[in-house]
Amino acid sequence: MRSMLGRTTYLADVFQPTKGAPPELDSSVSKVLGFIAWVGTAAGVVGILAVGTMMAVSVKRGEGSEHMGKLAMVLGGCVLVATAGPIIRFLFA
């Protein structure tokens, strides 16, 4: 049986994919991911400023509000945006 399989000829070559993306796709994806990372970073900065502003207004009015939870959510989003690229690079490299 083994010798029979060794003599088999194929009508078409079997496609063997190479590791990594094509260069033109790789550069385009890198540009898009870089843009998304900058937008995420800017959104994080705006979020921190918004939470800080809400905290200042609440203190000025004499109200007690739960802003630390909102700040933690914004900072968690910032950490996610900052680590998304290295995590994906680690998983797919």
For tokens 């680590």, the residue is: 83
Cα(49)–Cα(52) distance, rounded to whole angstroms? 5
Work out the average pLDDT over 32-42. Answer: 88
Helices (H), 1-93: 2-6, 23-61, 68-92
Cα(22)–Cα(1) distance, rounded to whole angstroms? 40
pTM of the model: 0.64
Token pair of 63, please?
Answer: 């109200």
pLDDT higher at 12 or 30: 30
For tokens 């009508």, the residue is: 11
Question: Is residue 2 predicted with pLDDT exceeding 80?
Answer: no
pLDDT in tens, 42-89: 999 999 999 999 988 888 888 777 888 888 999 999 999 888 888 877
pLDDT higher at 78 or 22: 78
